[in-house]
Amino acid sequence: MSVHAEIKRISVPQLMARKGQEKIAALTAYTAPFARLLDPILDMILIGDSTAMVGYGLPDTLSISADQLAAHAAAVVRSTSHACIIVDMPFGSYQESPQQAFANAARMLAASGADGVKLEGGAVMADTTRFLVDRGIPVLAHVGLMPQYVNTMGGFKAQGMTDESAEVILRDAVAHEQAGAFGLVLEGIAEGLGRRITDALAIPTIGIGATPACDGQILVTEDILGLSGDRIPKFARQFADVGAVIRTAVEQYASDVRSGAFPAPENCFGVKR
Ligand code: KIV
């Protein structure tokens, strides 16, 4: 007989039950310190492949690997106990076939302990969503502006601005819902379209540059804290200037090192005070 540890985290079914009841507040985290701070406050934390750009300084999200994301996800899972943890499937780890997607998703979940995966793609990826869900892997699908399609989209551009393209994105969303996705990230789409999709689906939508009508919102944590450099995306809001706090602390540290004020006797071993 096995004894199951009590699960205290917000589960995927609990997130789904939020639809129409209570908004889902989500952010990204890639490391233990951020995850620890975010966990008690948020419903969901995403280990996004945006860490390629935000954490590694790369120009896009295309070159982060499943092993790198799994390592970040393991750090986040180890440092949290409340929020539901979802990890991004990186570019090239799932597009080839549903079998490839399952092998990589299972490997990433086993290595990290995350609760589910997120994958980008329109209706063409719905079979993959179905394959994973049928085999026990919760899927958060991501439609609209899909950063992994940066080269085919010709840049990071808002999507669904014409009636025709809006219909395609609506069909993408419905296809993932029918395939069993537990939720849908709507990124960078026309506001009215986000509203339409949210009304049409029975699963929660989580917006990033979509509409306040979404069932939840997600942003990149560094964007809301003033840690993303000079340019914050139109869809984000800077809620604090943590960069300024860090600069002041580091200036003080450097000045104390240079003046000899740090380390002080209390920072040294074997010094009687
Ligand atoms: O990679 C990411 O951070 C995302 C967003 C939805 C925030 O996909």
- For the stretch 105-158, pLDDT in tens is 999 999 999 999 999 999 999 999 999 999 999 999 999 999 999 999 999 999
**Statement to judge: residues 254 and 208 lie in one domain:** no
What pLDDT was estimated at residue 41? 98
**Statement to judge: residues 161 and 173 lie in one domain:** yes
| Tally of CB atoms within 10 A around 265 | 8
Q: DSSP strand E in the chain: where?
A: 24-28, 44-47, 84-88, 116-120, 139-144, 183-187, 205-208, 216-219
User: Among 237, 234, 217, 212, which Cα is nearest to 225's?
Assistant: 237
Q: Can you say how many angstroms the Cα of residue 2 is from the centroid of all Cα atoms in its chain?
A: 33
User: Among 147, 152, 189, which Cα is nearest to 172's?
Assistant: 189
Whose alpha carbon is nearest atom 8 of ligand 1? Answer: 48
**Statement to judge: residues 185 and 267 lie in one domain:** no
What pLDDT was estimated at residue 7? 59
What pLDDT was estimated at residue 79? 98
**Statement to judge: residues 143 and 40 lie in one domain:** yes
The catalytic residue among 6, 177, 187, 251 is: 187
- Each residue's pLDDT tens digit in the chain (273 positions)? 466 666 589 999 999 999 999 999 999 999 999 999 999 999 999 999 999 999 999 999 999 999 999 999 999 999 999 999 999 999 999 999 999 999 999 999 999 999 999 999 999 999 999 999 999 999 999 999 999 999 999 999 999 999 999 999 999 999 999 999 999 999 999 999 999 999 999 999 999 999 999 999 999 999 999 999 878 899 999 999 999 999 999 999 999 999 999 999 999 999 876
What pLDDT was estimated at residue 84? 98
Structural domain span for residue 254: 242-273
**Statement to judge: residues 200 and 261 lie in one domain:** no
- Which atom of ligand 1 is the closest one to the Cα of 49? 1
**Statement to judge: residues 134 and 41 lie in one domain:** yes
Q: What's the token pair of residue 100? A: 């490839």
What pLDDT was estimated at residue 5? 60
Q: What's the token pair of residue 137? A: 């892997």
- How far, in Å, from the CA of 4 to the mean position of ligand 1? 32
- How far, in Å, from the CA of 271 to the mean position of ligand 1? 49
Q: Total structural domains in the chain?
A: 2
**Statement to judge: residues 234 and 119 lie in one domain:** yes
- How far, in Å, from the CA of 256 to the mean position of ligand 1? 39
**Statement to judge: residues 264 and 233 lie in one domain:** no
Provide DSSP, 95-157: SS-HHHHHHHHHHHHHHH--SEEEEE-SGGGHHHHHHHHHTT--EEEEEES-GGGHHHHTSS-
**Statement to judge: residues 228 and 246 lie in one domain:** no
60 is in an annotated binding site: no
What pLDDT was estimated at residue 231? 80
Residue whose CB lies within 8 A of the most ligand 1 atoms, among 218, 219, 222, 232, for a mutation test: 218
**Statement to judge: residues 189 and 273 lie in one domain:** no
Whose alpha carbon is nearest atom 5 of ligand 1? Answer: 48
- Which atom of ligand 1 is the closest one to the Cα of 118? 8
Whose alpha carbon is nearest atom 4 of ligand 1? Answer: 48
- How far, in Å, from the CA of 48 to the mean position of ligand 1? 5
Question: How many whole angstroms separate alpha carbon 56 and alpha carbon 60?
Answer: 10
88 is in an annotated binding site: yes
